[in-house]
Structure 1
Amino acid sequence: MKIAAMAVAACVLTGAALAAGTSSSGSRDVVLVTHDSFAISKTVKAAFERQTGLTLRILQTGDAGAALNRALLTSGKPEGDVFFGVDNNLLTRGLAGNLLVPYASPALRTIDARYELDASHRLTPVDHSEVCVVYDRAWFIRKHVVPPRSLGDLALPRYKGLLVVENPATSTPGLAFMLATVAKYGATGWRTYWKQLRANDVLTTNGWEEAYEARFSGSSGHKGKRPIVVSYSTDPAAEVFFAGKPLTQSPVAVVAGTCFRQIEFAGVLRGAKNPAGARKLIDFLLSKEFQAGMPLTMFVLPTRKGVGLPRVFRQFAPAIAHPLELPSKTIGANRDAWIREWTDVVLR
């Protein structure tokens, strides 16, 4: 769900490379509508096309929230055949809009059951990652300051003016982090916590790119001034992968107790011009080949059981055994109200 600029360096195909001919004018084309962070390697794309005889075309329509909103506006007359990018925090919105049709892929038997949240099979779990607090190791060493170890630590005076977060109204990691605080502190205590963060000079940005690449001090090639950011558990592996030289330690680290699970789903769009091709694409998104390629193209983790991770992930991406979570129905029933309350507490 991030690192789109980094992914370009990894020579992956995105919508910019596949923009030509994005309508399913013939049964040999299948169109994937998705967000700007989606990426697939040339090798994996070619494998899908070879196995199915279809041509995969990718239409990227903004960040995850914008892509979903656009898909909802075209519900029943979609711009493609499959939508990828609804996450568990927006799951109820994706299901409420009559956007998708059921499809229970035979490959679902290979998927870890904990990631299956839609019994109707309109949304199929493809990947997961954890949104976490991440910090710049070198900054804390230079300043002789102990890094934070919990959500509560971030409100302490020693971390005043150090944290940058994303707005939950405009950013999926920002929304996940807000939900993490609800999961940790409860339906009333989370607002008190954010009042403490505001008093501790938290900085809010509209999106992940500004937070991580412009405001965070630990990002490769970008030198912001704040050493703590809301980002992803896979960041340590990504920073090593893109370092351009061998590293024995990642320049960034994750505060494990702050992490909130994020699961991404795909589904067949209602009114798809190529529904048979759409089902084949869903099957392929769950295949071992696609699942094994995701870590180094999108820096997310597979939902398929038994898929090995690249060495850089095994060495540098911490496994988050017990991330914070909330039921999707609870999120759906309260999300918009919580965002309004967050805005009142933090921005006004």
Structure 2
Amino acid sequence: QWLFVCLFVLLLGIVSQGIAGENQPVVTLMTHDSFAVSKHLLETFEKQYGVTLKILKTGDAGLAVNQAILSKSNPLSDVFFGVDNTFMSRALTAGIFETYASPKLSKIPETLKLDPENRLLPVDFGDVCLNYDKNWFIDKKMLPPQTLEDLLKPEYKSLTVVQNPATSSPGLAFLLSTIGKYGEKGYLEFWRKLRANDVYVSTGWSDAYYGQFTRAKGGTRPIVVSYASSPSAEVYYSDKPLDEAPTAAVLGPAMAFRQIEFVGILKGTKQPDLARKLVDSC
């Protein structure tokens, strides 16, 4: 009988916890496929505010922004993370974000604050540039590219993968870097030559880096558009300890584009207070 009472109390506690979890408010964060955050941070936010945090990934940054715009009359989430300065004007013109002057703005450099109305708040930045697989070039006894012009040379034919600028934020950033280097009249000629040299245009960063790049299983392209921080990330996230990065970034004048990433509260959110708390936590 005592055992039955203990089991009943234990079962009642489990059911009560389940009901409490079901009754918790849900706040949804819409973002791109490359978004990553530790389980500990998610659980800390949920515990601190007594909520369930749902992460909704909707493709590369450009696709995610388009999805948020298309669903603005019935928003899919409360907060959007991952609009960058290349897609910023598209998002702001669509009018999908609410103004929110977070108290955390005082800690952010003025150079990163690109929206004076505070509809989009900067959360991080990175430099988009070419990366290459060091071992591939060592094995082939070839010099890695040092300039954009190198990509047009016959010896680099079929070696480069970039992202579609219509759907990918690093793809659009790379396109803008070529406009910055060659000007509005010259960049198209560069791209014509790059296309003639068999550049591969991927749908997004994940497919390019984890699918087409030679660092990925089955990848055939040793040059990829990624970030200046990608070599460090290779070391940090490696399953096995590495003494040095297996990749390198190609850096130099007019070789990189500073990408700033933003977070914003979507108009029509049903959880405005929690949405603000989530933005403050980013």
Instruction: Indicate the TM-score class for this superposition, using the shorter chain for normalisation.
Output: 0.7 to 0.9
Q: TM-score, normalised by structure 2?
A: 0.85
Q: SS where residue 153 of structure 1 aligns?
A: helix
- What CA deviation, in whole Å up to 9, does each residue of 1:171-216 have, x standing for no partner? 2222111111011111111111112212322222222233222322
What does residue 241 of structure 2 align with?
246
Indicate whether 1:200 and 2:201 are aligned: no
Provide closer, same or farther for how the CA distance between residues 214 and 83 of structure 1 changes in structure 2, counting only shifts above 3 A: closer
User: 2:270, 2:172 → 1: CA distance?
Assistant: 33
What does residue 280 of structure 1 align with?
277
What does residue 71 of structure 1 align with?
68
Provide closer, same or farther for how the CA distance between residues 225 and 81 of structure 1 changes in structure 2, counting only shifts above 3 A: closer
Percent identity of paired positions between Structure 1 and Structure 2: 51
RMSD: 2.0
Contact 2:128 2:226 in 1 (8 A): yes
Which of 158, 161, 166 lines up with 1:164 in the alignment? 161
1:160-239 alignment runs, 5 A limit: 160-219=157-216, 222-239=217-234
**How many Å apart are 1:28 and its aligned residue?**
3.3
User: 1:271, 1:124 → 2: CA distance?
Assistant: 18
**How many Å apart are 1:117 and its aligned residue?**
0.7
What does residue 139 of structure 2 align with?
142
User: 2:210, 2:204 → 1: CA distance?
Assistant: 10
**How many Å apart are 1:113 and its aligned residue?**
2.0
**Gap runs ≥5 in structure 1:** 1-24, 286-348
**How many Å apart are 1:76 and its aligned residue?**
4.2
Q: Which has the larger radius of gyration?
A: 2
Contact 1:212 1:231 in 2 (8 A): yes
Contact 2:31 2:64 in 1 (8 A): yes
User: 1:194, 1:138 → 2: CA distance?
Assistant: 27
Contact 2:63 2:168 in 1 (8 A): no
User: 1:191, 1:26 → 2: CA distance?
Assistant: 55
**Gap runs ≥5 in structure 2:** 1-21
Q: TM-score, normalised by structure 1?
A: 0.69
Contact 1:77 1:270 in 2 (8 A): no
Provide closer, same or farther for how the CA distance between residues 150 and 270 of structure 1 changes in structure 2, counting only shifts above 3 A: same
Which of 13, 34, 57 lines up with 2:54 in the alignment? 57
Amino acid at match of 2:249: V
**Consecutive aligned runs of 4 or more in structure 1 exceeding 6 Å deviation:** none
